[in-house]
Each structure stands twice: as C-alpha cells, then as structure tokens.
Chains A and B, each alone.
Chain A
C-alpha cells in the first residue's frame, strides 16, 4: 500500500526549513521577504506535523 518515502520526505522538509530560515535572516528587514518567509515556515510546520513528527514512530524506531 505505501510507496511513500518518509525518510526522504523528512530530510527535504528539514532542508526547506533551513533554507527558509536562512532566507529570512538574510532579508535585511525587507518585509516582502520576511513576511512571505514566515508564511512558508507556517506551511513547513504543517508538513512537519504530517510527516516529521511521526518519523521515529512510523518506522518502529520509537
């Protein structure tokens, strides 16, 4: 049934968070960059709730 790759998804989500946080930090207070980064981070959090949070449990590695 499952052909998703949760480990790889979680790694990509982690990289997205890091990239977005770096982007926000380098924004130099440009609101258009900072605020859009915040929105992206909120969406990344939803990805984490849906995948990353369960990674250690899903694989039986809790």
Chain B
C-alpha cells in the first residue's frame, strides 16, 4: 500500500472509498444527462422517445433505465447539422478547437469535436495514466506517432507536458530516424502500439545494429491501441526486447482514456472511476454483472466530456472485474487482463467461440517465432478452416518440426481448435506501424 500523496496524480479521487466513488458517479451522471437533454437535440429526442426525463434518475440503479447509444447512432447523427458532427453536439461550433476521428476500421469514421475544455479533460485523464506509470518531470519522453486525425497519443503528449516531462515529438520521422533520435537524446520513455514497440526493436537490431537493451536508455513504455500490453506473453516480449517496463492503457476515441495499468503491474488495469462510469453487461441476458471473473461487454459513460457527450456507450469491448485489489492503494477497481476481446470479434469457428487474443497469446509464447503472424478464417462448403501464418526467427529454421508441434499443441489447449499452419520466410509477413489487422474472417463480407 502506498501512502505518500505524491504517489498519486490526485490522492483525493484515487483513494476515495468505493461507496463514495459511486456517490460521485451518480452525481456526475445526473449532471451529464441533464446537460445533454437540455443542449443536445439528439439526446433530447432519444430520451423523449424512451420516455425518460433527467429527473427520473434518482438512484444508482436508475442509471440502467437510460438507453444505450451505439457507434451506428454516432454515424447517423453526422448526417444532421451542424456539419460534420451532427446534432449530438451540445456546444456551438465556435467553441470547437480540435477535430479527431475514429480509424474507420469497422465502417464510416465517427467524428469527434473537442472544445478547449474537453481537450484539457483528455489531457487530464492521461495525467492519471502517466503519473500512475511513473512519469515525472525528470523524464524525456519520445512520441513516435504520426500526429494526425486520430487521437492516439495526442493526449499523451499534452499530459506528459502537463506532468512536466520533456516531450520529443517523433512526428514524420521514419522508424530508423526515430530510434537514432531516441538514442541521441537519451530518451527514457516512449509511447506506441504493441505492434510498433516490437517493430521498432526489430528495426533497431536488424537494420541499425542497435541493441535496445544495451544501447538505448528506455525505462518505461506506454502502450495503447491494441490489447498486446495486457497479454502476458506479448508484454514479456516487449519488456525483454527493450529492457523496460511496459504499461498498458485503454482509450476509445468516442469516450476517452478510461483505464490504466500502474507500476505495480497487477495483471489488470484500474478504471478511472472518478471520470468514467463502467458497467459490464451480460452479452446474452443484458443483466449488469457486478461479480468478479464473469465476462461481459462494457457500457461506458464519460462523466465529464461535455461538447459531444458519450452516455452509456455500448463499446462492444469484452471485460471482466478482477477479484483482487491492487497494492498501489488506488481504490479504482481493476479489470482483469485489460480488454479480453470484442463482442463483435469473438466469432464461432467450427462451432467453437474463438477470441483472436487467445491465438496471439500462444504465438507470442513460443520464443523461436517472430512477432508477426496472421490468421485467416475461411469456409469451404460447410466446413470452417483456420489458417495461421507465422515466421520462424533466423537461425531457428532447423527446429521447425519441434516448433510446429508445440504451436499446434498449445493452440489446441488454449482454443480447442485445429489449425493449418503456414511458415513464411522471416520478414515477409506484413509489418504495421500503428494498429495491426492480423485476423481476417473471409466468411464475413469484407472480412
């Protein structure tokens, strides 16, 4: 248990007892619904159609009466004025100071408007993350990110500045230039997707002859965008490759950065329950899950995001409450293992439920395999087939038979499925710089 107030970004909120956190959440939720009802044409219409008025929310349980919103609705409202955000907005366009959008990997991108206050709020949320991960004013932080229309590490940049860190924007530099700049400036932290963390290490070793553990000064890495840093075998690969601590955090463009791992690395992530309300809903029954260990999809509310409120958003992310508390002393609850899947990614193959993260966990557990892999699910007649493409590390090719035996065995144990394995030459599978798309379901249109 940490008991020094400086261990926390805000000890008032981060150590608030759970019952008081719930009182705070209800107070904020009521304020937000009232604000949205009175200022957003979409929310007023939506709640009136559901027969709900802000005054109907009196208890914590009443929150569940409030209808959920989905990504599809956010796309639809964009057809309305004001362009390009639609009538979910509560603030006039004159107050909007930044545009962001979702990546659009699941359809038309959702556009997000930030006022300066909302942007300060994004950075504030990230301050909780970075402070909990040990970032301080003595750190020189490199951000190898394309600084574009996606929110990604923008707020991480602003938050690191707010914490007093010295921030080095990696911007349009290519991977090799980024590594050399990190080396030259003796940067001790950086932020990237797990895919890129591994890709940078690979480039350092194989293109520059730089050993990240010995030749660079990186002590901590903050990941986002993919679940890898919460998958133990992938986290270990990253930590081994860089000789650094790797921490995860989860954010959603439409919502905000709602959870984070602290330096205790408790096998899960704290939900920032002072800024967000997270509910877990049983995928089949729709009942709210409060007990630990049971998976469901996350319904999330950003309690203080005002210009384009996000109230009871059906995120489709599958999570579960942890059954233990963290030694760091934060009272914010833990979710076990981060986001363990997506309700729309968990797919039935040969009648068995398959989560792509389970395949990653197995591939990354075999040290002779490269970091890249690809899964292709197809159907021939009535039969589903799973093809797993892998790379074997240089110098390990002679061990192929033993590697494949272990790989198939572990896949069968972890996923209850059989796979066709294709071994590709090292370096031939696609490399990604941001989010990887390694799971392809050809049975789905556009899959």
Total residue contacts A-B, CB cutoff 8 A: 56
From the candidates B3, B120, B274, name the one contacting A42 in the complex (CB within 8 A). B120
Nearest A residue (CB) for B22 = A57
Whether B11 pairs with A46 at a CB distance below 8 angstroms is no
B60 proximal to A (CB < 8 A): no
Whether A54 pairs with B120 at a CB distance below 8 angstroms is no
8 Å CB contacts to B: which residues of A1-46?
Answer: 1-4, 6, 38-39, 41-43, 45-46
From the candidates A4, A54, A57, name the one contacting B5 in the complex (CB within 8 A). A4
Q: Report A19 CB to chain B, min CB distance, Å.
A: 18
Whether A57 pairs with B27 at a CB distance below 8 angstroms is yes
Whether A57 pairs with B120 at a CB distance below 8 angstroms is no
A4-B5, A49-B121 as given contacts; A54 in contact with B116, CB under 8 Å: no
B16 proximal to A (CB < 8 A): yes
Whether A50 pairs with B304 at a CB distance below 8 angstroms is no
CA distance A38 to B12 in the complex (A): 26
Q: Which residues of A contact B274 (CB under 8 A)?
A: 49, 54
Q: Which residues of A contact B124 (CB under 8 A)?
A: 46, 49-50
CA distance A6 to B115 in the complex (A): 28
Q: Which residues of A contact B304 (CB under 8 A)?
A: 49
B168 proximal to A (CB < 8 A): no
From the candidates A38, A42, A46, A53, name the one contacting B28 in the complex (CB within 8 A). A53
Whether B120 pairs with A53 at a CB distance below 8 angstroms is no
Whether B275 pairs with A54 at a CB distance below 8 angstroms is no
Q: Which residues of B contact A46 (CB under 8 A)?
A: 120-121, 124
B208 proximal to A (CB < 8 A): no
CA distance A4 to B12 in the complex (A): 9
B10 proximal to A (CB < 8 A): yes
Q: Which residues of B contact A51 (CB under 8 A)?
A: 12
Q: Report B20 CB to chain A, min CB distance, Å.
A: 5
Q: Which residues of B contact A50 (CB under 8 A)?
A: 10, 12-13, 124
Main secondary structure on chain A at its contact with chain B? helix
Nearest A residue (CB) for B127 = A46
Q: Which residues of B contact A42 (CB under 8 A)?
A: 115-117, 119-120
Whether B20 pairs with A58 at a CB distance below 8 angstroms is yes
Nearest A residue (CB) for B117 = A42
8 Å CB contacts to A: which residues of B376-431?
Answer: none
B23 proximal to A (CB < 8 A): yes
Nearest B residue (CB) for A41 = B117
Q: Which residues of A contact B23 (CB under 8 A)?
A: 57, 62
Q: Which residues of B contact A1 (CB under 8 A)?
A: 3, 5, 11
Whether B120 pairs with A45 at a CB distance below 8 angstroms is yes
B244 proximal to A (CB < 8 A): no
A54-B24, A57-B23, A57-B24 as given contacts; A6 in contact with B120, CB under 8 Å: no
Nearest B residue (CB) for A1 = B3
Whether B12 pairs with A39 at a CB distance below 8 angstroms is no
CA distance A49 to B24 in the complex (A): 11
Q: Report B66 CB to chain A, min CB distance, Å.
A: 20
Q: Report A42 CB to chain B, min CB distance, Å.
A: 4
Nearest B residue (CB) for A62 = B23
Whether B24 pairs with A53 at a CB distance below 8 angstroms is yes
8 Å CB contacts to A: which residues of B267-309?
Answer: 274-275, 304
CA distance A54 to B16 in the complex (A): 9
Q: Which of B11, B28, B116, B275 has the most CB of A within 10 A?
A: B116
CA distance A57 to B17 in the complex (A): 10
From the candidates A43, A45, A54, name the one contacting B12 in the complex (CB within 8 A). A54
CA distance A41 to B121 in the complex (A): 12
From the candidates B13, B115, B117, name the one contacting A54 in the complex (CB within 8 A). B13
Q: Report A25 CB to chain B, min CB distance, Å.
A: 17
Q: Which of A43, A57, A62 has the most CB of B within 10 A?
A: A57
Q: Could you name 24 residue pairs across A and B whose Cβ atoms are closer than 8 Å?
A: A1-B3, A2-B11, A3-B5, A4-B12, A42-B115, A42-B116, A42-B120, A45-B117, A45-B121, A46-B121, A49-B121, A49-B124, A49-B275, A49-B304, A50-B10, A51-B12, A53-B24, A54-B12, A54-B24, A54-B274, A57-B23, A57-B24, A57-B27, A62-B27
Given A54-B20, A54-B24, A57-B16; 13 other pairs, CB 8 A cutoff: A1-B5, A42-B115, A42-B120, A43-B120, A46-B120, A46-B124, A49-B275, A54-B12, A54-B13, A54-B274, A58-B20, A62-B20, A62-B23
- Complex A-B, nearest 10 residue pairs according to Cβ-Cβ distance, in ascending order: A42-B117, A42-B120, A42-B116, A46-B124, A57-B23, A50-B10, A57-B20, A62-B23, A1-B3, A45-B117
